[in-house]
Amino acid sequence: MMYYFFLVISIALVITALLSIYFRDLLAAIVSYSVFSLVLTVLYFLLDAPDVAIAEAGIGAALTTCIFVIAIRMTRRREE
């Protein structure tokens, strides 16, 4: 039963990771990376690691996205 959860969430992880390096609009890549971090938080919770899940949610999903958005504000938004 747990194995099906792992399978579905792992597929979602790989798809969002692929999308985040495929998009040419960097804002879409950053949003896709934020969804990747969110799905990883759920996976950490299913692996019985609540401390790591809270840390990943706070740092990966919130702060990293914030820093990336500020960085593409200072540089270009589209690739090339």
Partner 1 sequence: MSAIVLYVTFILLLTIGIIALLFKRNLIKIVIAFNILDSGINLFFISLGYRENAMAPIFTLAPFDSVITMVLPTPQALILTNIVIGFATTALMLGVAVLTYRNNNTLDTRKLRGVEEYD
Partner 2 sequence: MRLLSVVAIVIIFGFLFVGILHLHPVGEAVGNPDVLQQRPEYGIDINGVTTMDDYFLRNGQVETKSNNIVASVVFDYRGFDTLGEATVLFIVVSSVSMLFFTFLKSKSIISAGVPPAGQFPKIESRVITFGAFIMYIMILSFGVYLVVHGHVSPGGGFQGGSVMASATALLLISFLITRHMQQTRKIFSFFESLGLTIFIGFGFAGIGISFLFNFLAHTSTAFGRIIPFGPNQGYLISAGILPWLSLAVGIEVFFGLSLIIVTLFHASGVKDTNSLR
Q: Which residues bind partner 2 (CB under 8 A)?
A: 50-51, 53-55, 58-59, 62-63, 66-67, 70-71, 73-75
Size of residue set near partner 1 by CB under 8 A: 41
Q: Indicate whether 56 belongs to the interface with partner 1 (CB under 8 A).
A: yes
Q: Indicate whether 49 belongs to the interface with partner 1 (CB under 8 A).
A: yes
Q: Name the one residue in this structure whose structure tokens are 């990293």.
A: 64
How many angstroms separate the CA atoms of 11 and 68, rounded? 25
Q: How far is the CB of 40 from partner 1 (least distance, A)?
A: 6
Alpha carbon distance, N-terminus to C-terminus of the chain: 45
Q: How far is the CB of 28 from partner 2 (least distance, A)?
A: 18
How many angstroms separate the CA atoms of 13 and 69, rounded? 21
